[in-house]
Amino acid sequence: MQNPLLNFNALPEFAKICPEHVKPALSQLLDGANAALERVVSNDIAPDYDAMSGVLNVATERLGRAWGAVSHIHAVVDTPELRAAYTEMLPAVTEFFTRRGSDERLFAKYRALETAQGPSLSAPRQQALRHDLRDFVLGGAQLTGGAKERFAQIAERSAELAQQFSEHVMDATDGFAYYASEEELDGLPVDAKQAALEAAQKEEKTGGKLTLHFPSYFPVMQYAHSQDLRERMHRAYVTRASELGNPKHDNSAIMQELLELRQEEAQLLGYANYAQVSLASKMAQSPEQVLSFLRDLAERALPYAKRDLQELRTFAAQELSIADLQPWDQAYASEKLREQRYAFSDEELRQYFTEPRVLQGLINIIETLFDVKIVADEAQVWHPDARFYRIERCGELIGQFYTDLYARTGKRPGAWMDDVRGRWLRPDGQLQTPVAQIVCNFTPPLPGKTALLSHDDVTTLFHEFGHALHHMLTQVSDSGVAGISGVEWDAVELPSQFMENFCWEWEVLQKLTAHVETDQTLPRELFDKMLAAKNFQSGLQTMRQLEFSIFDMRLHAENDSANRISEVIAEVRRETSILPPAPFNRFQHSFSHIFAGGYSAGYYSYKWAEVLSADAWAAFEEAGVFDASTANRYRQEILERGGSRDAADNFKAFRGRAPTVDALLRHQGMSDSLS
């Protein structure tokens, strides 16, 4: 019988893929990819774009596509057998792509290709080649002898340290529990209180068990009336994995070593610091540019943050008898202030957002804006909840996508867009159209009822569709720079965040909403409340994000930072903190994004992409939200270009100028005059 993972002529046969298919298929594809790699570096293959792509890209694209299908079903319909098959093959797949990325023979071949054909290649191919060459250099392919060995050691040791860092954070989080008396739990919402009582009961203890896991910790900070309890929990939370907690979980030495290794790696690669290495493949040009971007925003957000804090202090003193607001009072007082100001519940809003209406409304928006038709289509799916659609323009197939919207067991939490395959003019002359999958974890409908979405869910759905459109509407046919491929990390959220804006437009919401019982559209009064609540404390929130971003960038841009982590964070806080953190705050010791995630010298990306998407949206506000020529320009200059042109150039071509922060500040209520 044919292994479904080896059928590349059609869409993935999701319903037929079984755990026992994984190893044989992936082993065969890995062998094929390895053979292709050996062949492409040999003298048999000329340094010619088509010849090289015809051998290597065909093999690696198949490997990537089959592995993508396995990863996908592992994420959405997991079983112990499937997880075992996935885990068994993961190291070999990762190893292949790492090795391919640093193979010096292949690097030499690409350089020969650049010499032979560089200037005569099409613009997208030149861009793909530039990316390849850059990634070889960043992957250490240029290094020789001892330097190469050291580079590999650094990579291995860094991975180990990052793993230890997150384990320490996890163990420190797990290692704390506080058994509160019932009286101390006063103020907690019923479900949070119930969960605490049950957790204690299970261990045959009295009162309620509180932990540092978010679902337990956060309601305490937000709702517990006891200031002592909040302080106790806050202290435990912000000292996790630091020298102030269990010495077994102290991350101090790991952070220092990681920063030293990153600095050493940068120097091996010929850069002055690690921030430059990180930015080499991003839209932002230099650490200095990022820092001045962040500081400019900080300067402009600061007066609003001060106002937010002043309001909070006054409210806390007058209404909550908290005379001197402390860090552990902030979430509590904020929640009380929010409740007092904007009285509406998420539940009330949910009644207006039924899934079929929202999805149809979203499809209509896409059809209107981007001159396409979206119709239901047939394909094998992995679960009865999954749906399949096709996108056409003038009757011609452009792309297809799956949706899988509801939470269930065996499905990874969160929401994401992933590519099933990319647009590609294959070496055999066939044009492969792109296929995407959009996965969410909304609350499933009750039996026989229509599913209701929260406004957050709706925004998430629009966000993921933004990524999917970026992937599917591309007109670039070279793998590596078509759709989302090759798009700079700090620009990739532009199309997704852009789509979120529709969820805040009165005109749009009229089309997306119909009360589940009365069929009425969203009332204006409720909309006004949503809008008012949207920017609650945006000044304070912005300053907090900026504090993390500046800290991250400075750590990686200053080559002596490893020995002065606590000094750097203290300096950054003097610059950005409105409410001084407690002296025992060791936030940095659990900052996994930069010490154990992919965000080192990249945390600023959140704000950076927000600026891009807000400024792009402003063009629609200026011309009218459904203005056809603006939408055309957006599609042609940003969505269709994918990674084939630098994001900065895409933006400029669309907007006629470089991005500015004004639109973001305005959208977040930080441009009105302060009284």
Residue ranges in 638-657 that form contacts with Zn ion under rule CB under 5 A: none
Per DSSP, the three-state class of 389 is strand
Q: In which region does residue 270 sit, left (phi positive, over 0), alpha (psi from -120 to 50) or beta (all else)?
A: left
Closest approach of Zn ion to the CB of residue 466, in Å: 7
As a whole number of angstroms, the distance between CA 547 and CA 563 comes to 20
Closest approach of Zn ion to the CB of residue 38, in Å: 37
Closest approach of Zn ion to the CB of residue 411, in Å: 18
Q: Quick one: which segment of 114-122, 191-199, 238-246, 488-496 binds Zn ion (CB under 5 A)?
A: 488-496
Q: Let me know if 214 is exposed, middle or buried by CB neighbors in 10 A (0-12, 13-18, 19+).
A: exposed
Estimate to the nearest angstrom the gap between the alpha carbon of 196 and the chain centroid. 31
Residue ranges in 575-594 that form contacts with Zn ion under rule CB under 5 A: none
Which residue, 301 or 417, is less far from Zn ion as judged by CB?
A: 417
Cβ-contact 502, 674 below 8 angstroms: no
Q: Quick one: which segment of 98-106, 345-353, 489-497, 617-625 binds Zn ion (CB under 5 A)?
A: 489-497
Closest approach of Zn ion to the CB of residue 111, in Å: 35
Per DSSP, the three-state class of 404 is strand
Which residue, 141 or 614, is less far from Zn ion as judged by CB?
A: 614
Closest approach of Zn ion to the CB of residue 362, in Å: 16
The CA-atom distances, in angstroms, between 42 and each of 39, 59, 108, 142 are 5, 16, 11, 19
Residue number closest to Zn ion, CB atom: 496
Count the site residues for Zn ion by CB under 5 A.
1
Please give the angle made by the CA atoms of 217, 417 and 352, to the nearest 5 degrees: 70
Question: Which of 464, 488, 493, 547 is labelled catalytic?
Answer: 464
Estimate to the nearest angstrom the gap between the alpha carbon of 364 and the chain centroid. 26
Which residue, 200 or 438, is less far from Zn ion as judged by CB?
A: 438
Q: Quick one: which segment of 148-156, 267-275, 421-429, 496-504 binds Zn ion (CB under 5 A)?
A: 496-504
Per DSSP, the three-state class of 660 is coil
DSSP 179: E
Q: In which region does residue 294 sit, left (phi positive, over 0), alpha (psi from -120 to 50) or beta (all else)?
A: alpha
Which residue, 477 or 496, is less far from Zn ion as judged by CB?
A: 496
Helix 605-623 and helix 538-557, axial crossing angle in degrees, nearest 10:
130
Which residue, 352 or 462, is less far from Zn ion as judged by CB?
A: 462
Segment 341-348 long-range contacts (CB within 8 Å, at least 24 positions apart): 341/532, 341/533, 341/536, 342/529, 342/532, 342/533, 342/536, 343/529, 344/526, 344/529, 344/530, 344/533, 346/454, 346/455, 346/456, 348/526
Which residue, 240 or 470, is less far from Zn ion as judged by CB?
A: 470
Closest approach of Zn ion to the CB of residue 612, in Å: 13
Closest approach of Zn ion to the CB of residue 496, in Å: 4
Q: What are phi and psi of 442, to 5 degrees?
A: -75, 160
Closest approach of Zn ion to the CB of residue 647, in Å: 15
Which residue, 496 or 650, is less far from Zn ion as judged by CB?
A: 496
As a whole number of angstroms, the distance between CA 383 and CA 389 comes to 15
H/E/C letters for each residue in 318-346?
HHCCCCCCCHHHHHHHHHHHHHHHCCCCH
Which residue, 390 or 463, is less far from Zn ion as judged by CB?
A: 463
Estimate to the nearest angstrom the gap between the alpha carbon of 640 and the chain centroid. 21
Which residue, 485 or 496, is less far from Zn ion as judged by CB?
A: 496
Q: Let me know if 129 is exposed, middle or buried by CB neighbors in 10 A (0-12, 13-18, 19+).
A: buried
The CA-atom distances, in angstroms, between 243 and each of 166, 259, 530, 584 are 16, 18, 43, 10
Cβ-contact 361, 453 below 8 angstroms: no
Is residue 464 part of the annotated active site? The answer reads: yes
Closest approach of Zn ion to the CB of residue 464, in Å: 7
All residues at 6 or more sequence positions from 638 whose CB lies less than 8 Å from its CB, including other chains:
470, 494, 495, 616, 650, 651, 654
Which of 273, 496, 588, 600 touches Zn ion by CB under 5 A?
496
- Closest to 444 measured CA to CA, from 496, 472, 406: 406
Q: Quick one: which segment of 336-344, 492-500, 592-600, 665-673 binds Zn ion (CB under 5 A)?
A: 492-500
Q: What are phi and psi of 178, to 5 degrees?
A: -130, 130
Closest approach of Zn ion to the CB of residue 601, in Å: 20
Q: What are phi and psi of 400, to 5 degrees?
A: -140, 155
Which residue, 496 or 668, is less far from Zn ion as judged by CB?
A: 496
Which residue, 255 or 366, is less far from Zn ion as judged by CB?
A: 366
Q: Quick one: which segment of 109-117, 240-248, 277-285, 491-499 binds Zn ion (CB under 5 A)?
A: 491-499
As a whole number of angstroms, the distance between CA 316 and CA 322 comes to 5
Tokens 């519940």 correspond to 345
The verdict on 400 binding Zn ion (CB under 5 A) reads: no
Which residues does the annotation mark as catalytic? 464
Which residues of the shown chain bind Zn ion in the complex (CB under 5 A)?
Answer: 496
